[in-house]
């Protein structure tokens, strides 16, 4: 019996207009968007639908915006496929919160508000430091770690074979890029980001996030949810909170998380939310895995059609 995992998008997937056609075509989607604005007390939905891009890419808007559109995609998929069965969830960075919410570990409103606060805390950490990130293409993990150690930066994302992301002080990132190229990287591309996510430069966000998580009810998930920090299934509610705080400065072990699910017999993965980055990573991890996605009305229709066969 094949098993299905739901995968939830992370920061960087945001695009002005995301979710708009879902709200226009599905009344239930509009209801979720209205609930989100009510929960947050500001018009996040208009920023998602209309931009401008500069506002949407702000961490405090991008994170809850992606959470929201991913959640709506999940709800519409359940609505269109009433017998939808999934056996695990996972999400990239902020997507881990969406994955936990989808698995019943926290309520929609609590998840949304915590993600908004997380984005604010991380933006504050970015503003207080001069951090940057870069994608290292075509260099293995060992040599990338060597370049990081020599430059004084860290490995932030292990996304898939041949695609790693490094994080740290901006001038050190430039040095690490040069070292990576010298070690054989095909490309070392500085990323347009507000700061050094998943690095020690984000540490100031951790106690604030811990305090926010303490205010909400966290339950044990109804299906396994894979932790970015451990690439294993989360434990109880207390452990979930600890791991989510650790995640702010820890490496995102995405490739290992997917390999864990593949080893558990998962063969079908449904990416929920804007973009198809996670589908792209999976093609590099295991081409034999079935990848579906729901980002808009067209991809929802295509995925529903395949699931109905």
Give 52-67 pLDDT, tens digit per residue: 999 999 999 999 999 9
Asked about 198 being catalytic, the answer comes back as yes
Give me 39's structure tokens.
């929960």
> Which residue in 2, 28, 70, 93 is the catalytic one?
93
Whether the model clears a pTM of 0.85, i.e. scores above it, the answer is yes
Which residue, 50, 78, 1, 5, is CA-closest to 262? 5
Number of domains making up the chain: 2
Residues 76 and 61 in one domain: yes
Q: What letter does residue 94 receive in the DSSP assignment?
A: T
Residues 206 and 242 in one domain: yes
- Predicted confidence (pLDDT) at residue 23 exceeds the cutoff of 90: yes
Give 121-149 pLDDT, tens digit per residue: 999 999 999 999 999 999 999 999 999 99
Write out the residue range of the structural domain in which residue 164 sits.
130-190
88-to-44, 49, 99, 261 alpha-carbon distances in Å:
29, 30, 9, 8
Could you give the 3-state DSSP secondary structure of residue 164? strand
**Pairing mode, strands 131-137 and 163-169:** antiparallel
Does residue 105 lie in a domain region?
yes
Give 160-183 pLDDT, tens digit per residue: 999 999 999 999 999 999 999 999
Give me 75's structure tokens.
């709800």
Q: What share of the chain is helix, strand, coil (3-state, %, to 5)?
A: 50, 15, 30
Last residue in a domain, options 190, 220, 242: 190
Q: Report the CATH number at residue 177.
A: 3.30.70.250
Asked about 93 being catalytic, the answer comes back as yes
> Which residue in 2, 28, 70, 198 is the catalytic one?
198
Q: What letter does residue 106 receive in the DSSP assignment?
A: S
Give 223-282 pLDDT, tens digit per residue: 999 999 999 999 999 999 999 999 999 999 999 999 999 999 999 999 999 999 999 999
Last residue in a domain, options 169, 190, 211: 190
Residues 122 and 140 in one domain: no
Cα 170 to chain centroid, rounded: 23
**pLDDT score, position 1:** 66
């Amino acid at each position: 019996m094949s098993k299905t995992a739901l995968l939830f998008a992370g920061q960087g997937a945001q695009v002005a207009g995301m979710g708009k056609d879902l709200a226009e075509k599905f009344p239930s989607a509009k209801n979720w968007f209205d609930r989100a604005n009510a929960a947050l007390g500001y018009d996040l939905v208009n920023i998602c639908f209309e931009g401008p891009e500069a506002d949407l890419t702000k961490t405090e808007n991008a994170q809850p915006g992606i959470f929201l559109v991913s959640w709506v995609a999940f709800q519409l998929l359940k609505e269109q496929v009433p017998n939808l069965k999934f056996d695990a969830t996972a999400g990239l960075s902020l997507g881990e919160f969406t994955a936990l919410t989808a698995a019943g570990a926290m309520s929609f409103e609590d998840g949304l508000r915590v993600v908004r606060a997380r984005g604010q805390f991380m933006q504050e950490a970015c503003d207080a430091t001069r951090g940057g990130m870069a994608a290292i293409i075509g260099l293995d993990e060992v040599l990338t770690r060597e370049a990081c150690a020599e430059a004084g930066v860290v490995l932030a994302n292990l996304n898939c074979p041949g695609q790693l992301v490094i994080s740290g002080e901006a001038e050190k990132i430039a040095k690490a890029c040069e070292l990576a190229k010298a070690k054989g990287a095909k490309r070392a591309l500085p990323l347009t980001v507000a700061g050094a996510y998943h690095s020690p430069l984000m540490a100031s966000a951790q106690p604030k996030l811990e305090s926010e998580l303490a205010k909400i009810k966290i339950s044990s998930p109804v299906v396994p949810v894979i932790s970015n920090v451990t690439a294993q299934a989360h434990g109880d509610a207390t452990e979930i909170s600890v791991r989510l705080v650790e995640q702010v400065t820890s490496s995102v072990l995405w490739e290992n998380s997917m390999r864990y699910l593949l080893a558990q017999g998962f063969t079908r993965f449904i990416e929920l939310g804007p973009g198809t980055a996670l589908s792209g990573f999976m093609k590099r991890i295991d081409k034999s895995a079935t990848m579906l996605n729901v980002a808009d009305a067209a991809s929802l229709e295509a995925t529903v059609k395949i699931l109905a066969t």
